[in-house]
DNA sequence: ATTACTGCAAACGCTTTGCAAATAT
DNA sequence: ATATTTGCAAAGCGTTTGCAGTAAT
């Protein structure tokens, strides 16, 4: 089964890449719909799955919530905001994360690991500041 | 709002603790239903949420799949099997994981982190060995 | 010409919710 | 007595799928 570069697929890829965020399927759908009003949400889902299987984009399955898709398919870590759920890429040289050599833990053969750091992003910190002031 | 120790809640807690696995809501429901046939799945969901909010059990939200609940609410990491999705607790002294002092990465205020190690559990390794032999 | 892909609508799996009745405090 | 909790059924959400038609190779 060879991939065909349909208009839909091309636009989905272009939007994801130019947007440079970690969008969910429906966020992406909202943007794409403006460029191609008749596209269906199912097409977006299907293409995101196909593109990530093909290694052209990354798929983020973070902790029980909606999947997000990453314009950057290379191996890297993420940081996400506990408040607004936005996700950012983490710099490669993030130390203390290189223990793939955890080796065999509890008899498991370790094939990979995922480090998720939870925090509050600058924007939400600012918002919280504002709210605090509003409450006074 | 103070917690009431209903029969339902007590049984849910007891099953989770005695089972000592990381069960999903419906796995737990299946077990509990044998002891209390008229209990509803919604009650199980509600109680698991309440109990984890109260810090009496832990909630595991792993990568886009079903939530699992942990009899042990203390802070620790998990290892899960990429094949059968079973989850085990990780020993505390797992080194290289103590970098809560990643500090302020990208302007985020870091409130926590989650390390998910992906591997294949002993049982599944054994099964794969068997299958390999079967294929020959 | 062939076969991957599309849009639509309907179904899916897991989880949450509104309600009136039941029960723990 | 009074609030929390229950069971039920229905709705919710994100996602997937069957289908007949459309379009890329």
Query: A71: helix, coil or strand?
Result: coil
Cβ distance A74 to B72 under 8 Å? no
Distance of alpha carbon B51 from alpha carbon B56, whole angstroms: 5
Q: Minimum mean pLDDT among A49-58, A97-106, B108-117: which range?
A: A97-106
**DSSP-assigned letter for residue A23:** B
- Sketch out chain B's domains with CATH numbers: 7-106 (1.10.10.10)
For residue B98, the model assigns a pLDDT of 44
CB–CB of A117 and B106 under 8 A? Answer: no
Residues of A in contact with B116 (CB under 8 A): 113-116
Report the gap between the CA of B81 and the closest CA in chain A (Å).
Answer: 8
Span A1-42, pLDDT tens digits? 689 999 999 999 999 999 988 899 999 999 999 999 999 999
Footprint of strand C on the protein (CB under 7 A): A 1-4, 6, 8-9, 36, 38-40, 42-43, 46-47, 50; B 2, 4-7, 24-26, 41-42, 45-46, 49, 66-67
pTM: 0.79
Number of alpha carbons in the 13 Å side-chain half-sphere of residue B120: 10
Q: Which residue is nearest nucleotide D16, judged by alpha carbon to C1' distance?
A: A42
Q: What is the DSSP letter of A100?
A: G
**What pLDDT does B25 receive?**
97
**What number of other Cβ atoms are within 10 A of residue A8's Cβ?**
17
Look at residue A60 in the predicted model and tell me its pLDDT: 84
pLDDT per residue as tens, chain B (136 positions): 689 999 999 999 999 999 988 999 999 999 999 999 999 999 999 999 999 999 999 998 866 678 999 999 987 777 766 666 667 777 665 444 444 444 455 667 776 666 666 667 777 778 777 766 665 5
Which chain A residue lies closest to B104 (C-alpha atoms)? A119
Range with the poorest average pLDDT among A36-45, A68-77, A117-126, B12-21: A117-126
Q: Which residues of A touch B108 (CB under 8 A)?
A: 79, 81, 88, 117, 119-122
Q: Tell whether the model's pLDDT for residue A104 goes beyond 70.
A: no
Contacts of A108 in chain B (CB under 8 A): 79, 81, 88, 117, 119-122
Question: In this predicted structure, what is the pLDDT of residue A92?
Answer: 60
A62/B contact by beta carbon, under 8 A = yes
């Amino acid at each position: 089964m060879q991939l065909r570069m349909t208009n839909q697929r091309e636009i989905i890829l272009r939007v994801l890449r130019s947007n440079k965020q970690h969008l969910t399927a429906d966020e992406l759908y909202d943007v794409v719909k403006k460029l191609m009003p008749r596209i269906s949400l199912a097409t977006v889902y299907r293409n995101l799955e196909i593109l990530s299987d093909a290694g052209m984009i990354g798929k983020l399955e973070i902790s029980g919530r909606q999947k997000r898709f990453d314009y950057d398919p290379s191996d890297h870590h993420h940081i996400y905001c506990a408040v607004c759920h936005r996700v950012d890429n983490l710099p490669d040289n993030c130390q203390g994360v290189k223990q793939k050599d955890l080796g065999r833990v509890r008899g498991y053969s370790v094939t990979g690991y995922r480090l998720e750091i939870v925090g509050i992003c600058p924007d939400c910190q600012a918002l919280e500041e504002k709210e605090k002031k509003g409450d006074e």
